[in-house]
Structure 1
Amino acid sequence: MTRVITFGTFDVFHVGHVNILERAAKYGDELIVGVSSDKLNFSKKNKYPIYSQEDRIKIIQCIKFVKEVFIEESLEEKLNYIRKFKADILVMGDDWEGRFDWVKDECKVVYLPRTPSISTTEIIEVVRSGRK
């Protein structure tokens, strides 16, 4: 059984999120998803997500090809999460290209292209500004 793990904020859930999760799931038999905690997001971006970590977890849990969901508390814990969930493959978006190559001794690392022309940040800006 091949276990795939990926991580993300998954705020203001959109088709780009579905696409990357669906493609990640195809690399194995089980997909495990780490959802960044509110605290982790604040430490990375100096702002909290629009949706709480509980809501974001619930959204990801409802996706039929996701086997398990957990809270990611720290970027530095990636290797521990990989070990804890016995992941064979780490899948990340290509905006992280090369940043997780250091775990290649533990599992295969795959960087997938993001869905073009869609971004959570852009969606939030459009909504806040009232643009269409």
Structure 2
Amino acid sequence: MRRYLAVGLDCYLCLLVVGLLVRSPLHSGRAGQEVALLLAQLVALSFANQVLLTMAVRASAGKLIMGVRVIRLPDAGRPGFRPLVVRWLYGLLWLPLQPWYRLRSPSTAAHAQERPAGCPAEPLEDLAGVRQVLHRDLRHYRAAVAGRTG
């Protein structure tokens, strides 16, 4: 549930920031150019939030608020740039189509067959070998590993 709330917060914050940057694009005579600028800003802000911020602090803005962190599998380390970009593109291009796939084929068996190769079957595992965990669980894991080695 926290993951979905974090995604909703990320979308809301992204739209809010871009909405504040582009006050009213439809009131000018160049509405097409302004809408293209709006979409470019949305993509750039989404990239900064999902890739750059996640590289820096292991979470996007929404995940920070909800107490979720992104880790690399299997060692629970900090994810690199490439896996985060793959994960961002996956979320940007494939995930928005999921309601369409579910409406087209309501049975779960048919939906599982439509999943592209390499897409996760487990809901908490991402395509690029990273996982989202609660921050408190990550702290407990680090304490357990430090206790074993120390």
TM-score, with normalisation over the residues of structure 2?
0.22
Of Structure 1 and Structure 2, the greater strand share is in 1
User: Structure 1 or 2: larger helix share?
Assistant: 2
Larger Rg belongs to:
2
TM-score of the two chains, using structure 1 as the length reference: 0.25
Q: Relative contact order, CA 8 A, sep 6+: which one is greater?
A: 1
